[in-house]
Structure 1
Amino acid sequence: MTEFPIEMLHRFCPMHAVLDSTGHIVQAGPTLHKVGGSDLDGKRFLEIFEIYRPRSVLSMADLLKAEGRKLHIRLRGGVRTPLKGVLSANGRGGGVINLSFGISVIDAVRDYALTSTDFAPTDLAVEMLYLVEAKSAAMDASRSLNTRLQGAMVAAEKRAFTDTLTGLHNRRAVDQVLDRICRSGQPFSLMHIDLDFFKQVNDTMGHAAGDHVLRCCARAMADTSRKDDTAARVGGDEFVIIYSTLTNRNRLSDLAGHLISRIEQPIPFEDQVCNVSASIGIYCSNGSEQDPARVMEQADVALYAAKRAGRAQYCFFEDQEDRSVTADPSAIAGE
């Protein structure tokens, strides 16, 4: 084998090792020093590196017999990155073995802090690294874009189910929640709330005052509902609260009375005071699958029974044989 200058081997085969007839490393390329250690020279190659395929390579003589064959190699200690190698004999019992990382090049770059200067100028691994970096950058950009798109979708969906004036849910959200809860057979109750004397506020003080009143009343309804409940504005001055799993009439009476009391508090606006109240119709489910439209209809009937009872009242819908609606006696009594 023709001997090549050390500088040439270093340039074109930065992961080579020149072995003498006893298998000791005479010289090693700069990248191999990074991988196997800076003190490789003078050590037996097979004491630093393990050839695990073919398994029969245990000595320098075995290495020479495997000349030209692809060898699967790894370090015996430290980071055991898989390597590929091939040996070329020099005719004097020694030879040159050239190593590469193969498909493990990405791990090797990370494990040994390698740069493009640690590879031969013609090594395709460098181009592959650039492709991997480009792909990684593209994937990062794609993930970032997907995150932004998902955030935009969530925000758009939230806007689609939110009343922009009050920040409560809107009619679309009520339809979705009511449909789901009715099909599930889960017990629930629904309050249909209509503001009393709201038209007078709009007519005498203007729509800005009316909007302010709606926002104040919405805060009272949000405070009267729990995390799993749904408070919504479904019309101009109409609201709905769906109470999940709550059907206790005493508790609902307390909530309705408290809500009416909150809404009846004078609402300052600029240098004036707005006064409104609320009438409430309450429907309680019986724990079976129900029709959402029928639920809203029954709550609506109870609402107008409350208005007929003198406003600022709440009434329960009672599904009797004649489907009449009665106002809760305690409500009419003003309790």
Structure 2
Amino acid sequence: MHVCLTPTGDIAQTGPTLQKLRPKIGLVGLNFLDLFEVYRPRLLRSMVELLAVEGSKLHLRFRDPPHTTLKGVLVPDGLGGAVVNLSFGISVVDAVRDYDLSGSDFAATDLTIEMLYLVEAKSAAMEASRTLNKRLQGARIAAEEQAFTDTLTGLKNRRATDHILERLARRGRDFALMHLDLDFFKEVNDSLGHAAGDYVLQQVARILVGETRKDDTAARVGGDEFLMIFVGLSDRQRLSNMAERIIARLERSMPYEGQWCQISGSIGITLSNGRRDAVLANFMHEADQALYVAKRGGRAQHRFYDATMAQTAEGNAPGTG
């Protein structure tokens, strides 16, 4: 990256890398100040003025695009001409990209090579950091998902439902909360074993997933207790039809290793009804009370919460099995 200048300021010789920056024109014979604009020091318009700043750092750029900036130092050759040694300075990274330069375009002693190595090392380190961050983020998401998931059924767990209900209540979103408790599940465990019970729970989970939409939630919150959260749904008839459909599907015998598992389900339902300041526990308590009434009424049925249930179910909780 050098040019040899004649006493008139014309280019007599150039280094191969400088010529590579302007491959379509021959640089030899051009006037140095016609090719470059020297913007520091200012007002250098002749060879005489260039020679007057010998040894000083020159800041210059190509007059034609791309206007790559360069740094240079001029040294007189003793014959009226001069040699100008050029470098890219901090713009070396852009120059390497723009002109497709490689290590062979620089002298082995040029500190530019060291800078390129540092840039490459920095890029590699940043890429490794991005990769590590993605892995850590993936691990964090997986851990959070696991913390909110029931491992047996793949449904959400109670921790997840608490979080979802708190968020919905805080945002004032309407929702319906459906509490399902399995009937006769204890008999399955006692007669066929816990493996059969686990199988039944997994089948129940499949049924509930089939009844929920993308933004809804199905969760297992106890041994044989499940919750469903239906966002934006307050149509009692639609919810009633859904509950009846779930109960009907639960009553179908489930085959397990040549035997039949027979259960049913009772459901309690409560609606948020636009309540903005309700405590989370109140929704859960209302669904529990409605479930208790459904259980007491003969099981395999559903009930909607109403205020009259508060006294009827006071101090009671739905039984399991």
Normalising by structure 2, we get a TM-score of 0.91
Q: Which residue of 2 aligns with 1:113?
A: 100
The offset of 1:111, in angstroms, is 1.8
Q: Distance in 1 between matches of 2:253 and 2:26?
A: 88
Identity of aligned residues (%): 59
1:30 and 2:13 matched? no
Q: Distance in 2 between matches of 1:184 and 1:72?
A: 60
Determine if contact 1:318/1:324 at 8 Å carries over to the other structure.
Answer: no
Task: Give CA-to-partner distance per residue, 1:261-288, whole Å, 9 cap, x none.
Answer: 2222222222222221110001111312
SS at match of 2:19: helix
Q: Distance in 2 between matches of 1:189 and 1:160?
A: 24
Q: Which residue of 1 aligns with 2:53?
A: 66
Which one of the candidate residues 248, 254, 267 is aligned to 1:261?
Answer: 248
Q: Which residue of 2 aligns with 1:212?
A: 199
Q: Distance in 2 between matches of 1:65 and 1:265?
A: 101
The alpha-carbon distance between structure 1 residues 28 and 61, as it changes in their structure 2 partners (threshold 3 A), is: same
Q: Which residue of 1 aligns with 2:317?
A: none
Determine if contact 2:289/2:310 at 8 Å carries over to the other structure.
Answer: no
Q: Distance in 2 between matches of 1:185 and 1:112?
A: 59
SS at match of 1:323: helix
Q: Distance in 2 between matches of 1:160 and 1:170?
A: 8
SS at match of 2:299: coil
Structural RMSD (CA): 1.8
Q: Which residue of 2 aligns with 1:239?
A: 226
Q: Distance in 1 between matches of 2:267 and 2:258?
A: 30
Q: Distance in 1 between matches of 2:22 and 2:32?
A: 10
Q: Which residue of 2 aligns with 1:7?
A: none
Q: Distance in 2 between matches of 1:114 and 1:186?
A: 60
Aligned residues: 311
Q: Distance in 1 between matches of 2:245 and 2:122?
A: 60
Determine if contact 1:106/1:129 at 8 Å carries over to the other structure.
Answer: yes
Q: Distance in 1 between matches of 2:114 and 2:124?
A: 15
Q: Distance in 2 between matches of 1:304 and 1:104?
A: 76
The offset of 1:325, in angstroms, is 5.5
Determine if contact 1:317/1:325 at 8 Å carries over to the other structure.
Answer: no
Task: Give CA-to-partner distance per residue, 1:173-226, whole Å, 9 cap, x none.
Answer: 011112222233322111110111111111112222211111111111111112
1:198-209 map, 5 Å: 198-209=185-196
Task: Give CA-to-partner distance per residue, 1:51-100, whole Å, 9 cap, x none.
Answer: 23334122323322332332221222343221011212223331111111
Which one of the candidate residues 298, 302, 315 is aligned to 2:290?
Answer: 302
1:285 and 2:272 matched? yes
* Code of the aligned partner of 2:234: T
Task: Give CA-to-partner distance per residue, 1:98-123, whole Å, 9 cap, x none.
Answer: 11111111111222222223223332
SS at match of 2:310: coil
Q: Distance in 2 between matches of 1:36 and 1:86?
A: 20
What are the ranges of 5 or more consecutive residues in structure 1 without an aligned counterpart?
A: 1-14, 327-335
* Code of the aligned partner of 1:35: L
* Code of the aligned partner of 1:28: T
Q: Distance in 2 between matches of 1:146 and 1:318?
A: 50
Q: Distance in 1 between matches of 2:312 and 2:237?
A: 19
* Code of the aligned partner of 2:61: R
* Code of the aligned partner of 2:294: A
Determine if contact 2:14/2:27 at 8 Å carries over to the other structure.
Answer: yes
Q: Distance in 1 between matches of 2:55 and 2:126?
A: 40
Q: Distance in 2 between matches of 1:325 and 1:241?
A: 24
